[in-house]
């Protein structure tokens, strides 16, 4: 078996600037401190029965304004990067830099840092230096081409997807049909509780049809952010149906049992599209205990987040793991630390004690890695889940036809 090369993109400067984000203050510091204290960087290289997983920590360089302009409008970038006292009131209103996306001290460093981190991770994959890249500080999926939205100032997901779209198909693809392709196929899968509207908008109707496919699994309810006419279940019979921009909405209380059924729909798309690269946005605001409070997903168990992500990593695609939502810093750190261990081929047990480190008291009362399910009722009925299965089987048929 060829070695599985893993890149973990992180640095002290990146953690420091990411921890300034008002919606996720200090979260980045929690995540990287827990990953470090669990010994995952050492463990990945020495504890696996076979030396098949090799992890490298890579310090990214900040993005340049020109690199951000590969997607975002230059006038918007200029406003984001304006030196103190920052953009004027008119620019803030024009570019959505208000309310949940108001400018904050350190915004310039944050934007350049997040952009550089996800670009670094994507290039490591695109240039064949790794099989899995991890960038937990990325995953800001709501930002639009010229407007901030939903705590997201730049869309690093889109920046990474554009890098992978330009990359040739991996030369060592396990699929003969993949080797014959002239262009890579890239799938974006979003597990955040919020609809990944910014990424979907970037590729909907774009010239990348057949090359980039986006699928957002999210909570949908009247008044829940972000409002979008595109967040509903797709209708393959509609003249407006786009099989490359997909939405899978779930009701309140989605549990492991629901996500086992959801996986069947996702797997149909994964099999039909057969991506060379897969970008997985691992927002964890759907876990039980998150302040958003919409779902009842657990970290472990059959159908849990770890179970779901393991199946993505078992695919033949090269995978980029990004962060996203998650408003309990300790539960977010627990989840991404466990997913890091899974990517390294040496999954930690859910009852693993939280090691003694600076943030240790914050992990009370369990002081373990587990994020168990709560008591929220799962409102996703059997009839609705059967409807999802039927719709996505039809979507998969359309994809197979269009890609033949």
Residues designated catalytic: 142
Question: In terms of Cα–Cα distance, which of 206, 369, 215 is closest to 298?
Answer: 369
- Which 8-state DSSP code applies to residue 376? -
195, 224 contact by CB (below 8 A): no
Burial level of 56, CB count in 10 A (0-12/13-18/19+)? middle
> CA 86 to CA 263: how far, in whole Å?
44
CB-side neighbour CA atoms (13 Å) of 41: 14
242, 286 contact by CB (below 8 A): no
What are 369's two structure tokens? 């890695």
CB-side neighbour CA atoms (13 Å) of 144: 14
400, 210 contact by CB (below 8 A): no
> CA 214 to CA 201: how far, in whole Å?
10
Q: What backbone phi and psi angles, to 5 degrees, belong to 217?
A: -100, 120
What are 129's two structure tokens? 């230096």
Question: In terms of Cα–Cα distance, which of 91, 227, 228 is closest to 148?
Answer: 91
Helix (H, G, I), strand (E, B) or coil at 321: strand
Q: What backbone phi and psi angles, to 5 degrees, belong to 146?
A: -135, 30
329, 362 contact by CB (below 8 A): yes
Give the containing element (helix H, strand E) for 74. helix 74-80
């Amino acid at each position: 078996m060829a070695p599985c090369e893993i890149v973990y993109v992180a640095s002290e400067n990146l953690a420091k600037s990411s921890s300034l984000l008002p919606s996720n203050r200090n979260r980045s510091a929690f995540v990287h401190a827990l990953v470090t204290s669990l010994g995952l960087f050492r463990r990945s290289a020495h504890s696996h029965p076979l030396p098949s997983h090799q992890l490298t920590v890579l310090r990214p360089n900040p993005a340049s304004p020109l690199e951000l302009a590969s997607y975002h409008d230059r006038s918007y970038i200029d406003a984001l990067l304006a030196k103190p006292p920052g953009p004027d009131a008119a620019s803030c209103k024009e570019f959505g830099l208000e309310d949940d996306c108001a400018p904050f001290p350190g915004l310039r460093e944050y934007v350049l840092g997040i952009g550089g981190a996800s670009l670094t991770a994507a290039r490591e994959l695109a240039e064949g230096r790794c099989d899995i890249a991890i960038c937990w500080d990325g995953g800001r999926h709501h930002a639009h081409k010229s407007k901030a939205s939903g705590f997201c100032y730049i869309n690093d997901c889109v920046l990474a997807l554009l890098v992978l779209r330009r990359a040739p198909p991996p030369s060592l693809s396990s699929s003969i049909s993949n080797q014959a392709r002239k262009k890579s196929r890239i799938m974006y899968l979003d597990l955040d509780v919020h609809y990944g509207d910014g990424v979907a908008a970037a590729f909907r109707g774009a010239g990348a049809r057949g090359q980039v496919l986006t699928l957002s699994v999210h909570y949908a309810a009247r008044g829940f952010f972000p409002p979008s006419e595109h967040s509903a279940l797709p209708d393959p019979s509609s003249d407006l149906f786009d099989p490359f921009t997909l939405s899978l909405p779930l009701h309140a209380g989605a549990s492991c049992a629901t996500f086992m059924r959801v996986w069947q729909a996702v797997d149909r798309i994964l099999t039909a599209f057969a991506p060379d690269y897969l970008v997985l946005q691992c927002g964890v605001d759907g876990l039980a205990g998150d302040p958003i409070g919409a779902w009842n997903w657990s970290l472990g168990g059959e159908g849990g987040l770890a179970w779901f992500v393991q199946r993505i990593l078992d695919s033949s695609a090269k995978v980029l793991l990004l962060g996203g939502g998650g408003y309990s810093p300790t539960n977010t750190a627990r989840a991404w630390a466990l997913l890091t261990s899974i990517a390294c081929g040496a999954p930690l047990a859910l009852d693993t004690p939280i090691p003694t480190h600076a943030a240790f008291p914050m992990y009370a009362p369990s002081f373990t890695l587990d994020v168990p399910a709560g008591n929220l009722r799962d409102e996703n009925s059997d009839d609705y889940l059967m409807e999802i299965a039927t719709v996505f089987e039809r979507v998969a048929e359309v994809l197979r036809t269009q890609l033949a």
